[in-house]
Amino acid sequence: MNKRIIIYIVVGIILLITVNSSIFIQDETQQSIVTQFGKPIGEPRTTPGINFKVPFLQKVQFFDKRYLEWDGDRNQVPTKDKKFIFVDTYARWEITDPLQFFIRLRDERSAQSRLDDILDGETRNAIASHDLLDVVRSTNRDPEVTEDFMEELEILEEITVGREKIEEIVLTKANERTTDLGVRILDFKFKRMNYVNEVRDRVYDRMISERNRIADQFRSEGQGEARKIQGDKERDLAKIQSEAFREAEEIKGRADAEATAIYASAYNQNRQAVDLYKFLRTMESFEKSLDENTSIILSTDSEFFRFLNRLN
């Protein structure tokens, strides 16, 4: 009895192992092929669900059904106009034919290595066939002017191809070389581009020279405006001073005329006032014409001498 139980248990285990080895479950993210002694058998399995194979003799190779990522290395590449730049690229790809993929590449690691050769090579060919401007720019749009001084900047040179079309060229050429590998490249992009040190220094020098030219233009315009303001100020000041002097002289003239009229009226009204007037005018004339270093000789007949004599 015990021997029968043991036999049943052993047979059951063998059957369980056999069934388990003959069934495999494939989810929606996978596709697979069945191999026997390393060679593919039958058609690829692309539908999720339960699948069967010959136990122990056949094996299952699973491949990803989703979009896969390829990240290129950063390489130094020359352009058509002999400018060296560092190019960093990336792409997305998928396995379209698992059977052909297994025959040619076996696994994803080999596929990544093969894509390195294809995409890096096509990238070099595309960049070497176009000028630097076509590689770094996509359109011929005019630069947006946000400040007045930007209107003085040089107009951008026109491109004939552009970055996006170069990416399409690389994608097309690369897919032509992957048709027999069971894969398809979905998208290819330039992730990053940097100038090598020599080119970058020349670009910086050009940018600095352009900004210095604009700064010099601003300084020149500012100095011209300052001179104009200074000239206007001096002209206005001279005009104001001239008008003030003229007005002052007119006031003084009117005052002298009024004083003369008063003196004349006083002369006509009082002889003594006339004598006083004459005396005052004489004193004013001496006051204006004589100082402490001046010597004068007076006649005894002069009224001033007689006045001084009376004072003594």
Q: Based on the domain organization, do 182 and 75 belong to the same domain?
A: yes
Q: Is residue 270 domain-resident?
A: yes
In a domain, 203, yes or no: no
Neighbours of 171 (CB within 10 A): 19
CB contact set of 25 (below 8 Å; sequence gap of 6+)? 49, 50, 51
pLDDT at 175: 94
For residues 215 and 208, give the distance between their C-alpha atoms in angstroms, rounded to a whole number.
Answer: 10
pLDDT given for residue 289 in this prediction:
67
Task: State whether 11 and 52 are in the same domain.
Answer: yes
Q: Are residues 159 and 185 in the same domain?
A: yes
* Helix, coil or strand: residue 23: strand
Same domain (yes/no): 86, 165:
yes
Residuewise pLDDT in 10s, the chain (312 residues): 567 777 667 667 776 776 666 788 888 888 988 888 878 888 888 888 888 787 877 888 889 999 999 998 888 888 898 888 889 999 999 999 999 999 999 889 999 999 999 999 999 999 999 988 888 888 877 666 555 555 555 556 778 888 999 999 999 999 999 989 999 999 999 988 887 777 677 777 777 887 788 788 888 888 888 888 888 888 888 888 888 888 888 888 888 888 877 777 766 666 666 666 677 777 777 676 666 777 777 677 776 667 666 655
In a domain, 256, yes or no: yes
Q: In DSSP terms, which residues pair with 285 in a beta bridge?
A: none
Give the whole-angstrom CA distance, residue 99 versus residue 87: 34
Do residues 85 and 140 share a domain? yes
Burial class (CB in 10 A: 0-12, 13-18, 19+), 116: middle
For residue 207, the model assigns a pLDDT of 77
Let me know whether 251 and 265 are in one domain: yes
Give CA–CA dist 261/264, Å, rounded.
5
Number of compact structural domains in the chain: 3
Q: Are 111 and 105 in contact (CB under 8 A)?
A: yes
- Per the domain annotation, does 249 fall within a domain? yes
Contacts 24+ apart (CB under 8 A), 65-69: 65/28, 65/29, 65/30, 65/31, 65/94, 65/95, 66/29, 66/94, 67/92, 67/93, 67/94, 67/186, 68/92, 68/93, 68/94, 68/95, 68/108
Based on the domain organization, do 90 and 145 belong to the same domain?
yes
Do 34 and 65 form a contact (C-beta atoms < 8 A)? no
Of 154, 280, 144, 135, nearest in space to 209 by CA:
154
83 with 145, same domain?
Answer: yes
> Quick check: is 144 in a domain?
yes
Cβ neighbours of residue 138 closer than 8 Å, sequence gap 6 or more: 162, 163, 164
Contact partners, residue 267, CB within 8 Å, separation at least 6: 273, 274, 277
Residues 87 and 155 reside in one and the same domain: yes
Same structural domain, 24 and 134: no
pLDDT, position 58: 81
DSSP letter (8 states) at residue 105: T
The answer to whether residue 261 sits within a structural domain is: yes
Q: Is residue 301 part of a domain?
A: no
User: Could you tell me the residue range of the domain that residue 73 belongs to?
Assistant: 68-195
- CATH number, domain of 83, equals 3.30.479.30
Tell me if 204 is assigned to some domain.
no
- Nearest CA to 183 out of 64, 123, 97 is that of 97
Using DSSP bridges, classify how beta strands 75-78 and 84-95 pair: parallel, antiparallel or unpaired.
antiparallel
Among residues 165, 194, 201, which one has the least CA distance to residue 75?
Answer: 194
Q: Identify whether residues 144 and 191 lie together within a single domain.
A: yes
Enclosing H/E stretch for 183: strand 183-195
Find the DSSP H helices in the chain: 2-22, 98-104, 108-128, 132-136, 163-178, 197-269, 271-289, 303-311
Which among 63, 84, 113 is the end of a domain?
Answer: 63
pLDDT at 151: 53
CA torsion through residues 146, 147, 148, 152, sign: negative
Question: Are 23 and 36 in a shared domain?
Answer: yes
